[in-house]
Structure 1
């Protein structure tokens, strides 16, 4: 006995279908057909009946046979409760899914509510500001989140009950009405995904982001788990990067044989293995007419580091226009662009550094980049004003005379003085002080007068000349006003006479720690520290090696001070080295509040006159030092805070370096107390304290080691000091797998996978069509509700007998 069924209609989760069971062997169909054929032939060949009569008799016989055929199989009408077909959602959670791609903003506007609303970004405003299209960086995993969860946040606590389910709110909103949804994440293993309390699918909470990607094997595992079940299809959210296990082609063949189509929405964009960004600008916010200033910015490249590379950049200020190249050797991730700039005209200036696209060059994009920086503008002021300097000395020693002479005679190319110098000389005759308005025998107790100077130079001054009240004013001048202070040690008073005095807080060490060293035979020599070698204020030559040689050849001191320990935050620029003593700090620099202090532990820089390649290392050094102390601070003329890292892709076992930069250096905190939070995989957090980077007032750095595999997020904690909280920065730690080295999505492979399985690949702008074009799937019978036996009806028997009787009566009448 054979069972046959055919669905008639499906309403919700109730299915109605016809079923019959044929009780006789199949050859009986042939016997009935033969009998029916004989009957037709007999009726047709009858010579006594008309055509109408023959047709009527034939119709009755055929209808009777049809009724008989309907009754014999036992037709039934079944009503059954059905289950929904299963729809599998498989999310790639490997490391490459945490990589940002480039996307044109205009095609994404229909998806703005899902893609941009969670980040509180206004795409319309971005387009208006750019006056054209905008290229944005979107992380692949965040696009997967947007496809599933819409505008729901990616953060928030996980639900306590792992069995609890919420409806999807993204492109598949409402899919639960027709399908039984199963959510999985896959990297090198397949695990079910859970939900957050806000109702969003947690795309990577239970999975460690790893550089191992076995998407093909994941598809096979899902097919195995649901073997024998009704599967409408698999929605695959991936970039197609596979570096282990079964290939996408192998998985697609198995899915095709199982009649399971793969639906693949696009969650990636244009990714260039030669991607780069400009980070860590380092430049003055004020320069002086006819004096060279150096503007620096780091170039950080991503992707494959094995090749040698040159990236062209155009430098321009409206009049100046030239091209420089960032050069990368194999294995090198970071390099620096250094631009020397000289202006002959005062006023506000802008120096722009922009990537130069060449013919056939795949770098960058003609549209404005909103996230990754491919250009930078240095905004600064070119000044023609003389630096207002105050010299304070007890007596006119050699150091004082050389400095006063330099500041009075130094002029620029146009003949204008570089410095406006005033002097306080404790030993000067009062009559001489009255005759010269720029010379004083005592320090006026006038804060406005003192605060009017750009730089104050204190020599070997006695506490009687620099009393407590004046010392407090001087501390306030540095800490509050942001003034620059240079201190020149002396054999009589500074710093040994200031123990416990207010001025002591500006010294690099406690007064009791200073010790006098006197060279009897030969003077000590100067040795630049690591910081001094890369500091422009200590640069007497353009070449680093030549600069080191020049400093080692300068006339060293016979008398100097040494200290075994420095205060926190004090940086050494130059050491003194001799046969009698080890290296001791000679020139130190520190930030005190908004100002800066440079301490010289010797008093014989005047001996540098007529030395150096320029013939006057003394003049070169002190001119640069005065510019530095006068407030030519490192920055780019803007406000706010920026966070960056040395590398966004870190190989396992390597360290990474964090940078926090205050764009306005005077907003930087006085102490080394900048704090950031380092979070791994959105789960494990730790606090990292950063310290000031050398003589850069607004830059704080810190090295982090012991990094495990995964994604790290750096968020700024404090101190904001009225600034807007900066945007967080991500970086990734991998094992050097191919997935971390080659991050371009395999779009061609994914399109072929979808086509080969009878599914479809959807571009980003077509997300809205995914739900309406999902395969129907096969309904699964869960429970039989009712069965109505259509064959067991009196009217069918009556119809059969009536047809046979009518035929018999007509035959009797027409043939007799």
Structure 2
């Protein structure tokens, strides 16, 4: 870093502190002349004593000297010292260091290639690709910076979502040869407003001659261009922009997203879907492959596909079907083979996160129905046939001695905590509250909220009203994702028990990708499939969804609307470490007539969604959950742990320690505080600082056997903000230069920037404190001496 240097010079001269100008000086000079003339007249007409002409002249000169000396003292002469300091103006150079500056443009256009060829090194072919950051380093060479410093001091800053100084050069000083700016194009965003303000403030009180901006114009954060221009214009600072990058559309294919189920069962088929995007790909084909590996193992390519871009550059989803026979965590990575002329290859790979967990055991389900409705019967048969489900059925209206259905046949309704904890989910198909034990609802609610189980309630015409009224089922109503409508009975009486017209279900846009509703590999296919299902005739109206709930299905009848919108037919939510769902119609069985496969898929997906918390680890003493499994740097994640002691009672420690494995390989400890009112639950917040995978783990020691460990994975993805616009955007740069009175230059015109920047250096004069000349012993001695000589002479001549 070079030091600042301002030029200065010192000026000294004698000044009169009083009566030194204007009328006072004229009056003083006139008075002095009159006094001198008066002295002359007096001495010429002096009659006393004996004075020769020579003596008269001597006395007159003495009196003249005394008067002149006293006059000078009255004028108060001082020695004045002035410091003339010339402050060099500053030219601020802002070099874009955002991630888009790392793109290697290939300049397929003839004009762009010609401009870059004039700047790029002779051994670099623009058509083969040169990064924008490399062009900035080439432009901001020692010679270019030296030209800028001929008139003003130069300060260079790199900026993206932050600002950092890169170099500094005094005015009228040549830069050392061979100096190259250390530009690092890794920033997550381009915040020009922040860069301009910090650079101007860093100049301190020095005048700013201009701002030189080296950028691709992809300004995507902070203040809008208009505000930046107004800020510079208010300070009369012109901006000179140099556009760097290819204005033509680049060729790029990228993996936008890869989706896969979080958990599957052994030998159960599942899909991994890759969503592709890109630019400049109309009609071109790309090769896509799927790599599979066990956690920590070697990867192998298990499938390959070819995808062709539509005329608008979009792709159909690429679907890979897999079936795994070995339980455990499996990692999947989708890769797109780079194209020969592709600008970016870093976005051609994406990993499924978190890993797909293949389960060995079956989902253990308790199905309880108040009566043998169609929904109950079809659902029971489906679950009994499904090899991933171990279901026990309890039909309340059946004879006590009847043989029950199910994979595991039961002879009584499980009613103790130990019996209920064997199940992963409880499905309630319009149960009769009067037939349930008094504390049964409380035990099921505890299974869901404390032990990660799932609960689905399917409304029916017989018992749903009583379900919301009965104190036996009040704990179950409390954990539902919907709130009861006090006017529901009036509305049902108004509608009647039977309706002749069915109304299609409506899937909100936000629910199209929900795991329960997904019927295709893309939202459009899911919406199309749901449009084929038969509508609903009867439903149980509720007031609204609860704050943490997600609405999945709504009614389409314009009469079925309240203050919260169309009536809710289905909703789901998290309840503690478990999940609950509400299905407000008993017409689901009709969907089987449209598509048995889609009917089965809906029920199995619903079941898997509500049991996911239990299968993820709630059968163990420790459970670790994050409120989301993907985030970006700087965002915070809420971490929740449910911890039990060896007797499976809530842990009573005030704090729980969680180990955090960071992307850098470093581990640290995160403290979770106990949640008030929820024994065994702990919560804390983690701020993601850098991109990459984060693994959280908590371990509970055991006196017998191995310790219980729970893990949770979070992926911190780098922001794609910089990759949304890949071309040189001249318009904002030109507009900003116009607003501030500057100019825009192409890369081959960057050498002209120094000619447009004026010398705005300023000279400041600083006056030091004057030093009096008259106020000293020598002046006093001279005055006393003259008066003494005159007195002695007059005495000698008998004039006293």
Please report the TM-score for the alignment, with normalisation by the length of structure 1: 0.48
Please report the TM-score for the alignment, with normalisation by the length of structure 2: 0.49
